[in-house]
Amino acid sequence: MKVEGLVASLRNAETIKELFTILRKKGAPVIELDGERFLIVVEGDFEGKPFWTEINGVKANMALGDAMLNSASVPFKCKRPYTGGNLILVRTSEIEASEFLIAYRDGGVLYFHVKDGEVKEISSQEYEALKEKMPEFKVRSFSDEQMEGMGAFFG
């Protein structure tokens, strides 16, 4: 599948639940795009109601930190006005943790346990019980030298 195809399918969502259902049907939280595997992170809102992704119980943008700069971010819109967000693609080859939890949330919808590349959908109770036991989630980010160079670029 191509990134464009995934983004186009997200445009069909009329609710947050439909958005998460589309992601699950496409294979989220880990999807192969153009021959490479990516962790799928989404964040945005539906008519003012926010949705987000958590990694090990922490909002993904906080868990990813500087690695967000090394990830692709693609904006998307859905069917209804004032709905959409960002699709963030994190290369699984850049993830240093071999085990982690993913939750697609708007108060609670889908929960996954990823271990050694294998994905298993879990319950909210399993998610809550496991999140304290997870190793630190790490993604390779830019080196200090690369960050200094980007600092000059970003001003």
Domains: count for the chain: 1
Establish if 43 belongs to a structural domain: yes
pLDDT for 141: 64
Reply yes or no on whether the pLDDT at 150 is more than 50.
Answer: no
Establish if 152 belongs to a structural domain: no
Establish if 148 belongs to a structural domain: no
Establish if 106 belongs to a structural domain: yes
Establish if 147 belongs to a structural domain: no
Establish if 44 belongs to a structural domain: yes
CA 57/CA 132 separation, integer angstroms: 8
pTM, rounded to two decimals: 0.84
Summarize pLDDT for 87-118 with one digit per residue, the tens.
999 999 999 999 999 999 986 689 999 999 89
Establish if 126 belongs to a structural domain: yes
Summarize pLDDT for 21-76 with one digit per residue, the tens.
999 999 999 999 989 999 999 999 988 899 999 999 999 988 887 666 667 889 99
Domain enclosing residue 125, as ranges: 3-139
Establish if 87 belongs to a structural domain: yes
pLDDT for 119: 95
